[in-house]
Structure 1
Amino acid sequence: MSYGNQGDGGYGSQPPGGGYGGQQPPGGGGYGQQPPSGGGGYGQQPPSGGGYGGGYGQQPPSGGGYGQQPPSGGGYGQQPPSGGGYGGGYGQQPPAGGNPPDNHLVAAILTTLFCCLPLGIVSIVKSTQVNSKWQVGDYQGAALASEEAKTWWKRSLIAGAIWWVLVILFYVVVFVLLAASVPSSSY
C-alpha cells in the first residue's frame, strides 16, 4: 500500500517496499506494523518489535508498561533503601518513641470555645498539622507544629483569662457606681 509516487520525494524518499514508514521487519504484528511485502505504516518499527504488540514504541522485553520499572519491582517511585515502615519521607528517621507528638487538639478546641476565638483558631490549625506532617515523614515539622499549637492555646487561655477579669471588673465598677448614686432612704 502506498500513497502517491514513491520515487519522486513527497514526504521524503521511501525505502524499497514503499509506504510512509518504510519496510517493516518480518514476523511483526500489532498496530502499525505491516508484513514485509506491503509497507505503509506511519513510522518504522524496530526490528525486535515482534511478539509483544508493536504499537507506537518498542516495549521492553520484561513486560513493560509505559516506562521501565526499577529492577527491585517497586511501584510508582523508588522507595528509600531503609524502609522502616514510616513512609521514609524527607529522608528522616522517626524519633526513638515512634509515636507522633501530642497535637493539643482538645486544649485548642476548649480555649477556642471558652477563651479567645481568634487565637484558638490558630491553635486548632496548628494542631491539625501535627498528624499530617508526621504521616508524610516530616518529623521535625510535626514537633514544631505541636509546640506552636501548645503556644497558641496557651495564648488563647491567657487572653481569655484577661478578658474575663476585665469583664468582671467592669461589672463590679458599674455596680459600685450605681449603688453609690442611689440615695439611701431612712424611715
Structure 2
Amino acid sequence: MVKVELFFLLASLVGTGTGMTVTDLDKVDGHISEKDGVLQEREEPIIIFNKATELFFHSENCPPGYYMGVMRNDVCYLIGLTELTHREASEFCRETQGGLVVIEDAYDHAYLVGHIVMQPELRAQSASSTLYWTSGTNLVDEVWTWSTTGQYMNFTKFSEQTNPDVSGYMGLFDDRQGSPSSYYDWWVYPAYGAPQKGRFICQHKIKHDDCDV
C-alpha cells in the first residue's frame, strides 16, 4: 500500500511548479560551472540538471552535481541531460564517483519517475530524448542484472511493447502517449547495431561517512 500511495502522491505533484530554492553548485577543481550545471574538462561538456526540487536537495554528503532524495538519505543522484551512449554514460558516472542508477523496487521507480515528470526540463523534448539510461543489462548469461552493483533484478517494470529477451541495456522510456502508470516503463535497447544515445541517471551510494557507488 505504501508504494501505491507514494506513486499517487508523486503523480499529484506533477505540474505544481512549487520548486524549492535553487542552490547553485560550488565550483570544484574547475569541473562544474556554478551557473549552468555544465561539467567541464571534456571535449564536449556534459550538461546536468543542476537544481534542487521538491524531492531532491543539495547535501554536503553528495559529490558535486549529485542531489540527495528526501525519501532516501543513503543515495545521491545526478541526472545528465546530454545524450550519451550507454557506455559513455556509465564511464561518466564512474568519473563523478558514481555509477548508473539501480532501481531496487517499485518505490525507487515511482520516486525517480515522480521527480522526472515534475520537472519540464526533464521530460521528453524530442524523439531522441525520451530515454534515460540505467545500469540494467542482460549481456552476462542473458540474465538481467544491475551492472553498477552486480545484483540480480528483484523488481522489473518492462513495457509490454518491448522484448526483455533481447540482449542489451535497459532504459526508462517516456511514453507520453500512455497513462501515468506507464510513464518511463522499462525498455530494452539492443547492444548490437548503431549505438543508441540518451540521457542518464547516476547514483552515488552513501555508506556511513564514506561514499561508494
User: Normalising to structure 1: TM-score of the pair?
Assistant: 0.16
Larger Cα Rg: Structure 1 or Structure 2? 1
Structure with more contact order per residue of length (Cα contacts < 8 Å, sep ≥ 6): 2
